[in-house]
Amino acid sequence: MNCFSSVFSGGNTGPRYRLLLLSLGLLNVVLLISAVIIGIKCAQIRQNSLHVSHPVAAQLLNQLHDLHNNHSDVIMAEEDAKRALETAVKNHAMLKDQLQQKQIINDGYQKQLEALRTERTTLLSNISALEMSCGKCPPGFLHFNTSCYFFSYAESSTVKKNWHNSRTDCINRGSDLIVIDSPEEQTFVGNSVKKMVQGLNVWQNGFWVGLTDMDTEDHWVWINNVTEVEPRYWKDGEPNEAGTGEDCAAVLQSPSNPWKSRNDANCKRREIYWICEKVSR
């Protein structure tokens, strides 16, 4: 039988039993103290675990804290920037609208300006026509001595006609093809044609005049029925009735000798400029 079996068997209540009780009591106290100490230590450790004492960890915590602050700043800055961007976008749209409206207004002004410019040009040419003709000739006609002259080239450099259609145009303008019956008039026509020279081809700057031999070959008569007696105004070798026949007279450019400026040409086939004449007011 061992010590415990003898204790619980109730057989022995001597000094051994008391020693055992004392030992158990002491053990109890020791365990209690240990439990209290462990409890205190645990509490201390739990408290200390909140304060990281390692310097690197502390630095990291600081950096984390700073980063956190920075992050908040960045978010706030981003929101500010977003708001600023929205405002800028709104302003941009507004300015674009304003710009478009200004553009429309500007386009309108440009059109008005162009119309005014065109009107100004017309008025200026009317003034110069009036000044040139002293009010004695219709618009488009130049005044010289007692007549008014229309050079078709001055109105259009592209429109050209045969002799018959040129005469019709003159009649429609209240005039007729020019009758050159003085040296002054020949000089005036020669100088005027010289100003309109466009190229080296003589026919390119040819102008019909009211002189024909269509009734009697080689008998040159002006449309006012006056026979031309001056041979000096023909170019050398003209009139020559070339090709299929040439019964109408034209004034061509003649830089070397303005007096020798006439040539006979085919009335129907040849299309050139023309000169009209009417008596001035």
Task: Tell me which residues touch ligand MMA (CB under 6 A).
Answer: 238, 240, 242-243, 246, 263-265
- Is 240 a binding residue for Ca ion by CB under 5 A? The answer is yes
Distances (CA, A) of 174 to 134, 139, 168, 281: 19, 12, 10, 13
CB of 257 to ligand MMA, least distance (A): 16
Q: How far apart are CA 142 and CA 187, in angstroms?
A: 15
Least distance in angstroms from the C-beta of 243 to Ca ion: 9
Q: How far is the CB of 241 from ligand MMA (least distance, A)?
A: 8
**Only segment of 2-10, 179-187, 244-252, 254-262 that touches Ca ion (CB under 5 A):** 244-252
Is residue 261 part of the contact set for Ca ion (CB under 5 A)? Answer: no
Contacting residues for 170 by C-beta, under 8 A, at least 6 apart: 150, 176, 177, 274, 276, 277
Residue number of the CB closest to ligand MMA reads 242
Binding mask 131-150 for Ca ion (x = CB under 5 A): --------------------
Question: For residue 7, what are its two tokens?
Answer: 């204790």
Residue 205 interacts with Ca ion (CB under 5 A)? no
> What single-letter amino acid sits at 100?
Q
- By beta-carbon proximity to Ca ion, the closer residue of 147 and 247 is 247
Nearest one of 264, 110, 272, 131 to 193, comparing CA atoms: 272
Q: What is the H or E stretch that residue 41 is in?
A: helix 15-49
Shortest-Cβ-distance residue relative to Ca ion: 264
Nearest to 181 by CA among 235, 238, 221, 142: 221
Q: What minimum distance in Å lies between the beta carbon of 206 and ligand MMA?
A: 10
Residue 280: name the closest of 170, 149, 112, 125 by CA. 149
Among 264, 267, 270, 278, binds Ca ion (CB under 5 A): 264
- Pick from 128, 132, 159: which is nearest to 147 by CA? 132
Q: Which amino acid is at 60?
A: L
Build a one-symbol-per-residue string for 39-78: x at contacts with Ca ion by CB under 5 A, - elsewhere. ----------------------------------------
Task: Give the nearest distance from C-beta 166 to Ca ion in angstroms.
Answer: 17
Residue 39, CA atoms < 13 Å, CB-side half-sphere = 6
- In eight-state DSSP terms, residue 227 is B
Q: Which does 189 bind (CB under 5 to 8 A by kind): Ca ion, ligand MMA, none?
A: none
Q: Which of 277, 272, 280, 157 is nearest to 207 (CA)?
A: 272
Q: How far is the CB of 136 from ligand MMA (least distance, A)?
A: 35
- Between residues 246 and 277, which has the closer beta carbon with respect to Ca ion? 246
Positions in the binding site for Ca ion (CB under 5 A): 238, 240, 242, 246, 263-264
